[in-house]
Amino acid sequence: MATTLPEAFLARLRRLVPPERLPMVEAAFREPRITAFRVNTLKADRDTVQAALEAEGIRPRPVAWYADAFQVSPEARAALLASRPYRERWIYVQDLASMLPPLVLAPEPDARVLDLCAAPGSKTLQLACLMQGRGEIAAVEVVRPRFYRLKANVQAYGAPNVRLYLQDGTRVGRYRPEYFDYVLVDAPCSSEGRFHLSDPGTFAYWSPRKIREMARKQYRLLVSAVRSLRPGGVLVYATCTMAPEENEAVLDRLLRTFEGMLSVEPVELPLSNQLPGLESWDGRPFHPALRLARRILPTAEMEGFFLCRLRKQRSIA
């Protein structure tokens, strides 16, 4: 087990996290993390799942802000993964922070939804549940092994309204211009919010250079997302990193590219571990509306995340 995270990362962390919150965040990278799951309402309901788990001696704790979500202690994780609800695909094990983007997107059941970076399918399947298996979800993934994992999950968990596309997400805007009512960009990132000392692989490849590479890819995905979104539609951008270059800076560039065409909307979350978006980083000021974005600090209950909700005000055709 590694004993410390990269010093360059820790130096950045101290600039990003208020001093009074820093011990909580540092502990989150070190202490065992609670296991969360949500009910796959395409196959089962909460009462059935709870009864089945309790029959096996597992007593999940409900999550106050999401009726279909539950938690178990780190010690109960193995039993959960051996349980009937897990084997039958009645539940999907998913970090609580990862459940936030679909909830913030909040698609209507009969809508057209684009999940632009869909593998392995956790949020795709959550969207299918929120939409009650109705409407249309286009799930896009460019990496072939990840696409087949996505396909296997969609089939196993029974999402009838998902269509799968092995495709480069940066091109979707050309093929489906202004077609979708909602777009989710849960972008590939440097994954800082998922770092944990028990798994050095989570941070083995972290570097400032990787952050810059990810930011370039994220911007191209966002441009494609904006082009694919109908006027009046909603776009949610999410990452599991704390790097401003991959969050506020990418969105600041997007807002300036599509000036007057996009607005940032408030994100209301009942969480104590959230901060507003940054006003600036390394002397670079960001668009003031990005204060409405939300930074989710890592805790023992959830990974670190970033969320921003935007609305397309008018056509860019």
**Residue 316 — very low, low, confident or very high, per pLDDT cuts 50/70/90?**
confident
Residue 245 has pLDDT above 60, yes or no: yes
- Hey, where are the domains in the chain? 7-23+96-312, 34-94
Q: State the amino acid at position 73 in one-letter form.
A: S
Per CATH, domain 34-94 is 3.30.70.1170? yes
Give the whole-angstrom CA distance, residue 219 versus residue 213.
10
pLDDT reported for residue 244: 98
Nearest to 158 by CA among 103, 89, 226, 219: 89
| Contact between 217 and 267 (Cβ < 8 Å) | no
Residue 1 has pLDDT above 80, yes or no: no
- Arithmetic mean of pLDDT, 86-109: 98
Give the whole-angstrom CA distance, residue 143 versus residue 168.
8
Residue 18 has pLDDT above 60, yes or no: yes
- Tokens 């799930």 sit on residue: 139
Helix (H) or strand (E) holding 165, with range, is strand 162-166
Residue 310 has pLDDT above 80, yes or no: yes
pLDDT reported for residue 121: 96
Strand positions, DSSP E, 220-273: 229-239, 262-265
Mean pLDDT of the chain: 96
129 given a catalytic annotation: no
Higher pLDDT, 60 or 2: 60
Rg (CA), the chain: 19
Helix (H, G, I), strand (E, B) or coil at 136: strand
Which residue of the set 117, 129, 189, 240 is catalytic? 240
Q: Which CATH superfamily is domain 7-23+96-312 in?
A: Vaccinia Virus protein VP39 (3.40.50.150)
Residue 149 has pLDDT above 70, yes or no: yes
Beta-carbon count within 10 A of 132 CB = 12
Nearest to 163 by CA among 181, 141, 184: 141
50-84 residue pLDDT tens: 999 999 999 999 999 999 999 999 999 999 999 99
114-147 residue pLDDT tens: 999 999 999 999 999 999 999 999 999 999 999 9
Residue 223 has pLDDT above 60, yes or no: yes
Residue 263 has pLDDT above 80, yes or no: yes
* pTM for the full predicted model: 0.96
- Residue 33 DSSP symbol: P
Give the whole-angstrom CA distance, residue 113 versus residue 180.
6
